[in-house]
Chains A and B, each alone.
Chain A
Amino acid sequence: MEAARVLQTGETVIAMAGNPNSGKSSIFNNLTGARQHVGNYAGVTVEKKEGKLIHQGKAYKVVDLPGTYSLGAYSEDERVARDFILKEKPDVIINVVDASNIERNLYLTVQLLEMGANVVVALNMMDEAKEKAIHIDVAKISKLLGVPVVPTVATKKQGMKELVVRAIQAANEPKREALKINYGSDLEKELKKLEDIISSHSQLSQEYPSRYLAIKLLEEDQEVYQQVKAIPGTAELLEQSEESAAFLLDETGEDAESLIADRRYGFISGVSKQAVRKRISAEQRLSFSDKIDKVVTHRVLGIPIFLAAMWLVFQFTFALGDPMIGWVEGFFEILGGVVGGWLAAAGASDLITSFIVDGIIGGVGSVMVFIPNIVLLFFAIALLENSGYMARAAYVMDRFMNTLGLHGKSFIPLLVGFGCNVPGIMAARTLENKKDRIITILITPLMSCAARLPVYVLFVSAFFSQYEGLIIFSLYLLGIVMAVIMGVIFKRLLFPGEVSPFVLELPPYRIPTLKATMIHMWERAGIFVKKAGTIIFSVVVLIWALSVLPWGVEPGSKESALGQIGSFFAPLFAPAGFGSWEASTALIFGILAKEVVVGTLGVIYGVGEEGVVTAIHQLWTPLSAYAFMVMTLLYTPCAAVIGTIKRETGSWKWTVFTMVYTLVLGWVMAVLVYQVGRLFGLS
């Protein structure tokens, strides 16, 4: 054990565990100073996040485990957290507990203690507890649980110093005895039998705390069962555990799972009775949150408020962002002009000048143009999450989402998908059930992400400048409608008859801190910039290279490698009205990143940012332009999204499936739009 730890990192590891919304991210940020996402929607912290804590000149590794209510195998988050604790054996765990909601929070604490982990409790949200007139005897709790307890207010950085000192102290102390809850004579007898078998098995007793394993087996935790089964010489143990579980059911009329949960909560109630005093009961007090909820989840007002909130987010993002886009565009235009001038003065060849001005500066420019929209959108999303409204949105929308075969929580990934599909798909991790997750991931690419906007903007300014808002809105709407239809189809075809639990906490409303909102915003925006910075840039250079190869051809002409690839696929798109090699070429490169469609058209028409609009106006019709926008919206998502889907589903099957179905859907819809449009005499 000791050796494994040294092998791992050679440094002290502090893990952070806690319920969603307990303030875990806030404490993690305080300790490590790391820029990290802070949210209020239950379960946003899904990835293992690491940071460094420096204390008295020494560095400690801090690992932020996913926020969970329990450590069963109910969700991926719980499995991640549990496996980390069992396998990586952190030196100490800082367990963040929401003091204003102490009973449910201690349920996780109890499980950590039963695993024999070295725990220091951060009793967070002490300010809220005080406001709720909840008085907590910290010394008493510490004594009853047998671990250090430090009261904290993460948002005001209160208690952080003591927390660090206590955690490091605990990390250097020998491991303490695991907490033993008395599960009652019937259960204890069976546990004893199992523990005895476990202790006599050398591998098992080394890998698992014996009482913990015995409890997990009685709970019939499938994951633990399989893990044990894979170890040789455990048949006797598994047989005994099945026998014990059956015996308990017979004897008490209750299954072991409920008995254990009952007893754990019983223990917690005991702790709470001795150490927590509530001056007013929760029922009597109409809290700030309840007052807001009365309006926000009102029978009549709930849906209009939800729609209004979404409309505000949309307006905030675009009405405020569009003028800023003008500034960014202006900047890159001037930059292109200045650099072009220098290059000409230095006697650079046309090729080099074009590469730098059109390829590099133009390419980077058409990406940076998006930053205002993205930053604003994610600012708005962060406000919704941190305030607690996101959970209400899931609550208000679940009935509707459920009829689409989705979960109220699927709403979040889909909404985030409007900014960028990549974090949207990542946000689908908050869905515990595999069916919900997969369906959400499959349809998130149909959400019109911000990177598709430049394509719309380009074509709209060429043909539909008076109807800008209407045309763009119709595309967003089409994406949603397609997502709904595909969601229903996937539910019926891919997961017939499966249901998944909703059971969602509605956290109290909190006034979001600016810092948390900014951290969230920059992190999300950073994902886009990084993706843009690396993929887009290399794609632009690649396009440029393909457009001048083979050597000697007119750059970007039909004879270039780029033109040849486009020409090959062009006939396929003739029924959709854009059978030109330029259009197909742009679409092909759009798979590497959707916004590149604009850059590609710019490069292959051989004109600057300004010129593309004119070129398109001459070469396209309004109808073919609209069909092309539909195609851009729906067809195969960009490389970064494909990579994310692979990572999140862990399967090439789902990844390839998404690529293919979106391509087919895009083609069918584009053809439909064009052909129907022609029937009505548009062209």
Chain B
Amino acid sequence: MSAKDSVVLSDMKPGSRGKVVRISAKGPLRRRILDMGLVSGVEINVKGVAPLGDPMEILVRGYSLSLRKQEAAEIHVEVM
């Protein structure tokens, strides 16, 4: 786990890309994140942020997924 150059997804800017390294969420949120295909190694692409600043939208496995920043903060990403 390359903790030093990994950031949390919620801090990533629209247009940036990265690779998921770790999910720190627990319980149902963790289950949901994994089910939606956000497992370690998968590439993601930040598409944008909702008008009120939250949630954010990402592209993963070719589809669009939105999550709250609070949830995205549990996803650790290695920026590419």
Contacts and interface: CB of A to CB of B under 8 A. Distances in A.
Interface stretch (A256-264, A542-550, A590-598): A256-264
A297 interface: yes
A261 B20 CA distance: 14
A310 to B, nearest CB: 15
A505 B64 contact: yes
A506 B60 CA distance: 11
Contacts of B66: 395, 398, 502-506
Contact of A303 (B23, B52, B70): B52
Which secondary structure dominates chain B's binding surface? mixed
A257 B29 CA distance: 12
Interface residues of B, number: 38
Interface in B23-57: 23, 28-37, 39-42, 45, 47-55, 57
Nearest to A391: B66
Given A69-B35, A72-B35, A503-B71, A399 B54 contact: yes
B68 interface: yes
A257 B31 contact: yes
Nearest to A71: B35
Contact of B42 (A265, A503, A504): A265
A107 B35 contact: yes
Contact of A299 (B37, B51, B62, B70): B51
B5 to A, nearest CB: 19
A297 B37 contact: no
Contacts of B71: 501-503
A50 interface: no
A104 B63 contact: yes
A101 B36 CA distance: 12
A299 B49 CA distance: 8
Nearest to B68: A502
Given A302-B50, A396-B52, A283 B67 contact: no
A32 interface: no
A297 B32 contact: no
B50 A396 contact: yes
A302 B51 contact: yes
Nearest to A265: B39
Q: Range of interface residues on chain A?
A: 35 or more
Contacts of B57: 293, 297, 395, 506
A40 to B, nearest CB: 14
A74 B36 CA distance: 12
B78 to A, nearest CB: 16
Interface in A289-318: 289-290, 293, 297-303
B79 interface: no
A331 interface: no
Contacts of A508: 64
Given A299-B51, A300-B51, A399-B53, A501 B32 contact: yes
B61 interface: yes
Contacts of A402: 54, 68
B28 A262 contact: no
A300 B48 CA distance: 13
Nearest to B70: A499
B7 interface: no
B64 to A, nearest CB: 4
A337 B33 CA distance: 64
Nearest to B42: A265
A329 interface: no
B52 A261 contact: no
Contact of B29 (A258, A400, A501, A506): A501
A303 B36 contact: no
B59 interface: yes
A262 B53 CA distance: 31
Contacts of B52: 303, 396, 399-400
A586 B45 CA distance: 58
B63 A303 contact: no
B41 A504 contact: no
A282 interface: yes
B60 to A, nearest CB: 8
A200 B41 CA distance: 38
B48 A297 contact: yes
Contact of B36 (A301, A398, A503): A503
5 contacts: A104-B36, A402-B54, A502-B71, A503-B67, A507-B64
Given A261-B39, A402-B54, 5 more contacts: A257-B31, A257-B34, A262-B39, A398-B68, A503-B32
Q: Name the 9 nearest CB pairs between A and B, nearest first.
A: A302-B51, A399-B52, A261-B34, A70-B35, A506-B64, A103-B61, A282-B62, A501-B29, A399-B54
